[in-house]
Structure 1
Amino acid sequence: MSRVKSALLAATLLVGTAGLALAQQGPTYDPAQLPELKGKVAQYTLTPRGDVDGLILADGTEVHINPALSAELVFAVRPGDSVTIHGLKARAVPMVAAASVTNDATGATVAGRGGRFMRARTPMEAQGTIKAVLHEPRGEANGVLLDDGTVVRLPPAEATRLAAQLAVGQKLFVRGDGLTSLLGRLVLARQIGPDSTKLTDVARPRMHDGHGHRGMMERMGRGPMMERGPMGAPGGSDAAPRPPG
């Protein structure tokens, strides 16, 4: 295993362990002891479920956060806010697996675990210029960010297969299932191409992908189980959390 993959795997395991520990009565691990990164939030990134699973900073850094913290995060941190992040940095790409995110102006800190929100997706199309390639915490590409802020997601295997069409600076037309909310705009790609007349099909994620089928299906919004929300019902609330103001 390469040093980069080893570091990213360690970051994923560490952040997951820290999240579980922080959910307990007395935190076992202190995220403040992890490396610190400061920056300004440009936008959220979304999972196929519609949860926030990270941030894009103004300098292009990709910040990964536990999607279960979606509701807490959007109330604590908004685009334009300056933040302090504690987590582990990737070696090869500008990416951080965050254990905590703090709003520098208010002092509000998000860490630990929380409820998950489920939102319906509808057929959607999007087009624009690719601004950045997005990744999973382990470093695998799993989508792109368009210049209008739209997040496009693909299974990692398909993102690798179609990498030539997903390069920064290229035009992209995407057709699939998506959603638009106060948190941003997301399209789960079923077809992509340089325009609507030259489309390539995107395969759906396989049940057994070598990385654990439940994790993959959860990431692509087809998981057999959902975490229970704060009221104890599967998925919490169907309504998107509304940031203050």
Structure 2
Amino acid sequence: MPTLRNVGLLAGAALLVIQATSHAQVASPPVPPPPAQGPAPAPLYDVTQLPAVRGVVRQFTQTPRGDIDGLILADGTEVKTPPHLSSEIAYAIRPGNTVIVHGLRAAALPLVRAISITDEATKITISDDGPGPGRRLDAAGGAPTVSSGRVRMPLHGPEGQVDGALLEDGTVLRLPPDAYRAVTELKPGQTVFAEGPVLTTAFGRVVEVSAMGTTPDRLEPIVPLPPAPPGPPPPRP
């Protein structure tokens, strides 16, 4: 039979437990949920006012580092995109899908400098808002090898300069800047042999060309043209 002393001890212990529990609940309030983020800001300019091109994506083009820098449409139109949009394009655009491209058309080339691209299947629109944080495919090609094939079409830089070629098997050849001497070997239907590191990604195969020729035993190094000589000095007053 419990004594009065034991009952008093049990009651005191229960009171301590209740106080400790109450203190713990006061000291650890629930964490409030993070504030909800507002909607993304609307773009400053209305890109739909720019000329639009609609077509089916045949394939991507890539830089020698593996970044997507454009699309080739089924009708042969070349769409140029900045490399900093590489990750967004890889996520949103699918070869075989129809896209609507708003941008600037070249006057004498089937070339469009894209400002926005909408994939009609994924319903995603990608707009060029300038360089920002993004993932780069910092891959590198292996040892230089010789690749060959027939040229389907020359490829261009954003200003319309020839900077490579697309072969009929889908391989992309990329030339170093100002390598204008090699342009004559990149005509459609021309068979070329190109030496350089080869990079293969999920989006295709790209060769960083260091030498090129029409036969494998006559490969000439691709070097930039020397700078133009300075002009005559201005006349003296």
One-letter amino acid matched to 2:80: H
- How far the C-alpha of 1:43 sits from its partner, in A, is 0.5
What 5-or-longer segments of structure 1 have no aligned partner?
A: 1-23, 210-245
Matches within 5 A, 1:84-163: 84-112=100-128, 113=132, 115-117=134-136, 118-123=138-143, 124-158=145-179, 160-163=180-183
One-letter amino acid matched to 2:215: D
Structure-2 separation of matches of 1:189 and 1:173? 10
| Structure with larger Rg | 2
| TM-score under structure 1 length normalisation | 0.70
Figure out how many residues of one structure are paired with residues of the other and give that number. 184
Are the counterparts in 1 of residues 177 and 224 from structure 2 also a CA contact under 8 Å? Answer: no
- Matched residue, 1:224: none
| TM-score under structure 2 length normalisation | 0.73
- Matched residue, 1:218: none
- Matched residue, 1:21: none
What's the RMSD between the two structures over aligned residues?
2.0
Structure-1 separation of matches of 2:165 and 2:188? 8
Are the counterparts in 2 of residues 125 and 187 from structure 1 also a CA contact under 8 Å? Answer: no
Q: 1:180 aligns with which of 193, 197, 200?
A: 200
Secondary structure class of the residue paired with 2:90: helix
Structure-2 separation of matches of 1:205 and 1:25? 46
RCO higher in 1 or 2 (8 Å CA, sep ≥ 6)?
1
Structure 1 segments, 4+ long, off by >4 Å, are none
One-letter amino acid matched to 1:153: R
Describe the superposition over 1:61-80 as per-residue Cα deviations: whole angstroms up to 9, x where unpaired: 00001111101101111111
Structure-2 separation of matches of 1:184 and 1:46? 8
Are the counterparts in 2 of residues 155 and 205 from structure 1 also a CA contact under 8 Å? Answer: no
